[in-house]
Amino acid sequence: MKKIPRRVWLEISRDVLTSNFNAVSNKVSPCEVMPVLKANSYGLGVLPIAETLKEAGAMRFGVAEPYEALQLLPLERSIHILSSILPEEVEPMIEAGITIPVASLESAQLINRTAEKLHKFATVHFKVDTGMGRLGILYNDAYETISKAHGLPGLISEGIFSHFSMAYERTSPVTLEQINKFKTLLMQLSKAGKHFKYVHIANSDAINNFPESYHPPFNMVRTGINLHGAFDAEGNRSIPIQPAISLKTRLTAVRKLPAGSCIGYGHTYKLKEKTRIGTISAGYADGLPLSLSNQGNVIIRDRLCPIIGRVSMDYTNVSLKDAPEAQVGDDVTCLGATESNCITIESWAELKNTHPYEIICSFGNRVERRYI
């Protein structure tokens, strides 16, 4: 049977991913950049993105949990679990050579015992909670815990890291407090002869807002959203990155509806005049936020076409008043840029009253990922 092209697709530009990686690398040089590719690279498809970033020079990747770590083994790069590890996951992760986070003395001891049993070494990075309030060794316990764990014979204590809770807010004292606490701890550990090859704390927000997070003692950063070409909703945008993704679909129907016609579920829009209406083949199942209803736009033939009525699961209606030549089958840009128009992830996030991360992670299963 002849292959039918998919109705909705994401175009993910490998060139833009590469140039974004280079832009972040230039900004933080000589720090190393660890791309964070958790959640299937924020939903965009982890393997092609990892391959692209490996070609761009990435030496390691960060993920959230073991399943994601194992997926990346074929790339033959260091894979770091950044969050947590369950006891039964320790052995397979050591076997696979994954870099494991240490978040307690008990966990360090278990990793050590397991490594010795396997006649292997486990590479670990100590995860310190300097104020994120989520995972890691509590700051007040960190010196003691790390001092005890650092020399365990089965461990290669390669790194130490922490994570920011609100580095998007330049004026908040919280991030500087986290940095200062971390530096104090490093100094104490250094005095006791405990040193680390890699010291890292910065995420995208910090790289944009807190230069002190990518200067010594820090020598690595972890970045996710900036590689995909988006910024957090708040804070500076100080890296010259480009949007790497466009969401596209097709125009599946064009109809002229008389004045007074009501459009879609709930009849939330009533035509004031006879209007050419287009129906595009994408809805909230594909990641179009419901809040675009009567508020957002799509681009057809390089013209902005307002969404009218409520976004439904599979289809969305738009006014073709400003694109009179639009025809069934036309490509429709829901997110992304054309020659003279652009719809950004950030603008969707604002309409949905959320942050860009949720938008990027919300494209549906039906959406084909095309790497171009």
> Which span sits near ligand PLP by CB under 6 A: 8-16, 111-119, 219-227, 318-326?
219-227
> Which span sits near ligand PLP by CB under 6 A: 67-75, 84-92, 186-194, 199-207?
199-207
- Active-site residue 67, yes or no? no
> Which span sits near ligand PLP by CB under 6 A: 87-95, 221-229, 280-288, 313-321?
221-229
Q: Quick check: 204 binds ligand PLP (CB under 6 A)?
A: yes
Phi–psi pair at 170, nearest 5 degrees: -60, -35
Phi–psi pair at 369, nearest 5 degrees: -95, 115
Which residues, including other chains, have CB under 8 Å from residue 72's CB and lie 6 or more apart?
Answer: 37, 46, 47, 50, 61, 63, 79
Token match 């013209």: residue? 303
Closest distance to ligand PLP from the beta carbon of 3 (Å): 35
- Active-site residue 284, yes or no? no
- CA-to-CA separations, 258 to 261, 275, 316, in angstroms, rounded: 6, 7, 18
Q: What x/- string results for residues 235 through 254 when contact with ligand PLP is judged by CB under 6 A?
A: --------------------
Catalytic residue, candidates 117, 197, 256, 265: 265
Sign of the torsion angle spanned by Cα atoms 31, 32, 33, 37: negative
Q: Quick check: 225 binds ligand PLP (CB under 6 A)?
A: yes
Sign of the torsion angle spanned by Cα atoms 180, 181, 184, 189: negative
CA 361 to chain centre: 7
- Identify which of residues 208 and 281 has a Cβ nearer to ligand PLP in the complex: 208
Closest distance to ligand PLP from the beta carbon of 128 (Å): 12
Closest distance to ligand PLP from the beta carbon of 140 (Å): 21
Among 224, 235, 264, 289, binds ligand PLP (CB under 6 A): 224
Rounded Cα distance, 157 and 173, in Å: 30
Give me the helix-helix angle, 173-191 and 139-150, nearest 10°.
30
The DSSP secondary structure of 342-357, one letter per residue, reads EE-HHHHHHHHTS-HH
Site for ligand PLP (CB under 6 A): how many residues?
Answer: 10
Q: What x/- string results for residues 19 through 48 when contact with ligand PLP is judged by CB under 6 A?
A: -----------------x------------
Q: Quick check: 58 binds ligand PLP (CB under 6 A)?
A: no
Rounded Cα distance, 331 and 280, in Å: 9
Closest distance to ligand PLP from the beta carbon of 253 (Å): 38
Catalytic residue, candidates 38, 127, 181, 194: 38
- Identify which of residues 223 and 297 has a Cβ nearer to ligand PLP in the complex: 223
Report yes or no: 368 and 253 within 8 Å, Cβ to Cβ: no
Which residues, including other chains, have CB under 8 Å from residue 259's CB and lie 6 or more apart?
Answer: 271, 272, 273, 274, 275
Q: What x/- string results for residues 65 through 104 when contact with ligand PLP is judged by CB under 6 A?
A: -----------------x----------------------
Closest distance to ligand PLP from the beta carbon of 212 (Å): 17
Token match 């996710």: residue? 224
Catalytic (active-site) positions: 38, 265
Residues that bind ligand PLP (CB under 6 A): 36, 82, 163, 203-205, 222-225
